[in-house]
Amino acid sequence: MSIRIISDPAVVQAKAREWKAAGETIGIVPTMGFLHDGHRSLITRAVEQNDHVIVSVFVNPIQFGPNEDLDKYPRDLDADAAMCEAEGADIVFHPEPSDMYGEYFSTHVEVDDITSVLCGASRPGHFRGVTTVCNKLFNISKADRAYFGEKDAQQLAVIRRMVRDLNMDLEIVGCPIVREEDGLARSSRNKYLNPEERKAAVILSKSLNKGKALLDSGERSAQALIDTITAELKTEPMSDIEYVSVVDSITLKDVEGDITAPVLVAIAVRIGSTRLIDNFSYEV
């Protein structure tokens, strides 16, 4: 079956209604497009687990701050559609902003607390935009399951929180981070890196690996972990650290003292003008 690219939310919703009436399951993979192997892994998983898969390709304006990269965000719908088709998805949902946020749009969904730390601290309103669009995507797609990457660990935690808090009737499936051969997490934003910056960017995963090794060696002090990762990041002159954090996996609160429960170790680092994130989860 060849892939359908649909921009009208009502058309996707009508198709989803048909599928549900036939007792068939639906998976949704929300993306901003310019798809790479990280996205591919989500789509593959969704195709394995559902009768039908909708991949949304939507650069969601309300999750970008005024000085962020909305206008220059990379796009390639033809390549995206080809990947979705090759992986066996049914629909690429590619709305215009006006299809999603019509005249008088005034409803938002906001998760408190865990959205104001880590990336939320420097990107006010970002997660409100993410949770609002995901709500719309879940309603439009009538999905049984939605697929998110652990690459955006805070986003995944926020979406899980929202689904629990609001009794939303779908399963959130987290998928492991897909990396380049040298360890850099795949990201559409890697396209912004020039060759020199691309080489320097390996410092993110390298520093996290040092941190992981420290934990494996038995160290439990959150501060020692932060210090080790920070020192490694600073060995790369092009790196400009936004945060290095060790937080509780559920509350996303900073761990004080020793690590005694599952943690998320997360970093945000600018290489040149490109802001990159990476993380790992650890259970002691």
Residue 87, both tokens: 């992986």
149 binds ligand AMP (CB under 6 A): yes
133 binds ligand AMP (CB under 6 A): no
Place of tokens 């680092």: 269
Among 39, 94, 136, 142, binds ligand AMP (CB under 6 A): 39
Residue ranges in 61-100 that form contacts with ligand AMP under rule CB under 6 A? none
Select 88 or 174, whichever has its Cβ closest to ligand AMP.
174
> Is 39 part of the annotated catalytic residue set?
yes
Integer Cα distance of 110 and 126 in angstroms: 10
Nearest to 108 by CA among 66, 63, 153: 63
By CB atoms closer than 10 A (0-12, 13-18, 19+), residue 62 is middle
Residue ranges in 217-256 that form contacts with ligand AMP under rule CB under 6 A? none
Give the side-chain half-sphere CA count within 13 A for 258.
5
146 binds ligand AMP (CB under 6 A): no
Helix (H) or strand (E) holding 57: strand 52-57
Number of residues that bind ligand AMP (CB under 6 A): 17
> Shortest approach of ligand AMP to residue 41 CB, angstroms?
6
50 binds ligand AMP (CB under 6 A): no
Q: Which of 39, 52, 94, 126 is catalytic?
A: 39
Among 131, 141, 154, 187, binds ligand AMP (CB under 6 A): 187
Residue 49, both tokens: 């687990």
152 binds ligand AMP (CB under 6 A): yes
126 binds ligand AMP (CB under 6 A): no
32 binds ligand AMP (CB under 6 A): yes
Residue 82, both tokens: 């080809």
Which stretches within the chain are classed as H helix? 9-21, 37-49, 77-87, 97-100, 119-122, 126-141, 153-165, 195-200, 203-216, 222-234
6 binds ligand AMP (CB under 6 A): no
Catalytic positions: 39
Q: Which chain residues interact with ligand AMP by CB under 6 A?
A: 31-32, 38-39, 41-42, 148-149, 151-152, 175, 177-178, 185-188
